[in-house]
Amino acid sequence: MLKKLILTALAPALFLLGASQLGGDEFDQADLDRWQEQFMQVVQEGRDLWTDGTLGSNGVSCAQCHPNAANTHPETYPKFQKQLGRVVDLWEMFNWCLRNPLEGEELAADDDKMIALLAYAHYERRGVELEPGKH
């Protein structure tokens, strides 16, 4: 009983100790600037891949049908997609267009190129309200 009481009393202190060791909330403006710079670099890589026609096998680019990520609706994912017959996330629909209009190879969800494409599409739609599942 006493042991349980002591543990209960100590729990918040132990939690704080753990959290401070993780260093989760220790960052300054220089960190924020660096993270933003790295993010924008990935967005730029995504923009290049989106527009340069190198992703697929036929020289077609995403931008030809989706200039500035138009009609990609990242804010509506995950949602049911009839082409795939189930609820999917945005990257799976990117792969559908990679396979079909671009006649290319699929990318893994964690492929650097896929992350860059996702960053670009989300960045273009920043500020748009999230509406998962919407058609």
Question: Site residues (CB under 6 A) for ligand HEC?
Answer: 55, 60, 62, 64-66, 71-73, 76, 90, 93-94, 97-98, 101-102, 117
Shortest spacing between CB 64 and ligand HEC, in angstroms = 5
Could you give the dihedral angle defined by the CA atoms of residues 64, 69, 75 and 76, in that order, rounded to the nearest 10 degrees?
0
Cα–Cα distances in Å, from 115 out to 57, 100, 125? Answer: 20, 20, 15
- Closest CB to ligand HEC among residues 43, 97: 97
6 vs 65 by CB, closer to ligand HEC: 65
Sequence-distant (≥ 6) Cβ neighbours of residue 86 within 8 angstroms:
80
Q: In the complex with ligand HEC, which residue's Cβ is closer, 40 or 73?
A: 73
Which of 101, 95, 94, 97 has its CA nearest to residue 122?
Answer: 94
Asked if 132 and 79 touch (Cβ cutoff 8 Å), the reply is yes
* Strand (E) or helix (H) holding 7: helix 2-22
- CB 106 → ligand HEC: shortest distance, Å? 10
CB of 82 vs ligand HEC, minimal distance in Å: 7
Shortest Cβ distance from residue 122 to ligand HEC (Å)? 11
Looking at the Cβ atoms of 14 and 65, the one nearer to ligand HEC is 65
